[in-house]
Amino acid sequence: MTPTAFLSTTSAHVLAALFATSYVGSIYISKNARLSFSNTRARLDYGYARPKERDERWRDDPDVIRARLVAVSTATFLCCAMVFAVMNSVSGNETDQSTAPQLTVVHLGFTSSSILPHLITPVLFLGPLYGHFLLETLPFQKHWSFEEDVLSSLFSLAGMRNYIVAPITEEIVFRACVLTVYNLALASRTRMIFLSPLVFGAAHIHHAWDTYNRYGRSPAALKRAVIGTVFQFTYTSIFGFYCSYLFLRTGSVYPPIVAHIFCNIMGVPQPGYEISQRPDRRLAIIVAYLIGISGFVFVLPRWSYTQGSLHWN
């Protein structure tokens, strides 16, 4: 039996763009969530931001963070509501006896998964984890502190944004909602894995304006903003490929959310720094990175397999 496309490809594109616009645009609707900068120009040493002026609003200001947490949470709810509206029309089809709430929950991946998909990302980060072990910064090691590394970091306002609210809302919107409408349009797996995450990457481009202003509105600041934006677009798009694969393969949004949180906590791997700190373990660090990468390639298709995944089947 030939599958039925409940949405046209054009409709899926429009909805995906609407999801991204709603999410990013939500932080500019409220005055409290918007950033404001003076016209100050400054030539600064590379890597240093200029001092914040009194009447400016920067992204790490507590009031800005609070307003943005509310904004993106509201936008995420609205995106899910739009998917529900689509599912309401699908459930009215004579060949489908499921209700709109049931279809919405299943298609958005609010379903449980096995533990194995959640362990794939730590395998990839075997090298960085070994580096942290050598530097004794893993939980309960010498240079780890529950107060600083958990309470002050994870549960501060910035920590709530970086490690909790942003990963959860971004995965629900840019993975669950976006991939659901493309799945309803019968888009190919290749297109969903490698093209839909570009929307996620593009959603981070607006950070360039923030960087340009904080680093002095100079040619050097512009260069930093462009380079940083290109790097962030590339990194987030590649990460999006991975999370899209996880979502489609498992049929659950939870493995991508856990992967997103884990990657945000770990940060970008820095083998050079780890080697500089422990040159006596240089070979071991390199081997750990290589084992992590090869192990990731091996376990990804095996540990992500979920029988009956709605989106993969």
Q: Among 310, 192, 200, 197, which residue's Cα sits nearest to residue 251?
A: 310
Q: Which amino acid is at 190?
A: T
Domain for residue 3, yes or no?
A: no
Domain for residue 47, yes or no?
A: no
Domain for residue 194, yes or no?
A: yes
Domain for residue 44, yes or no?
A: no
Cα 238 from Cα 258, distance rounded (Å): 16
Percentage of residues of the chain with pLDDT beyond 70: 96
pTM of the model as a whole: 0.93
Question: 35 by DSSP, 3-state: which?
Answer: coil
pLDDT score, position 1: 53
Residue 95 has pLDDT above 70, yes or no: no
pLDDT score, position 219: 87
pLDDT score, position 45: 72
Domain for residue 45, yes or no?
A: no
- The radius of gyration computed from the CA coordinates of the chain, to the nearest angstrom, equals 21
- Binned at pLDDT 50, 70 and 90, residue 92 comes out as low
Residue with the two structure tokens 């395998």 = 123
Averaged over 53-81, what is the pLDDT?
95
Domain for residue 46, yes or no?
A: no
Strand partners, 102: none
Residue with the two structure tokens 């075997």 = 126
**Residues 105-140: tens digit of each pLDDT:** 999 999 988 999 999 999 999 999 999 999 999 999
Domain for residue 108, yes or no?
A: yes
| Low-confidence winner among 33-37, 75-79, 265-269, 309-313 (lowest mean pLDDT) | 309-313
**153 CB-near residues (< 8 Å, 6+ apart):** 159, 163
Residue 2 has pLDDT above 70, yes or no: no
Residue 67 is part of which domain span? Answer: 9-37+57-303
**159 CB-near residues (< 8 Å, 6+ apart):** 152, 153
pLDDT score, position 175: 97
Domain for residue 311, yes or no?
A: no
Q: Among 312, 313, 269, which residue's Cα sits nearest to residue 124?
A: 269
Residue 256 has pLDDT above 70, yes or no: yes
Domain count, the chain: 1
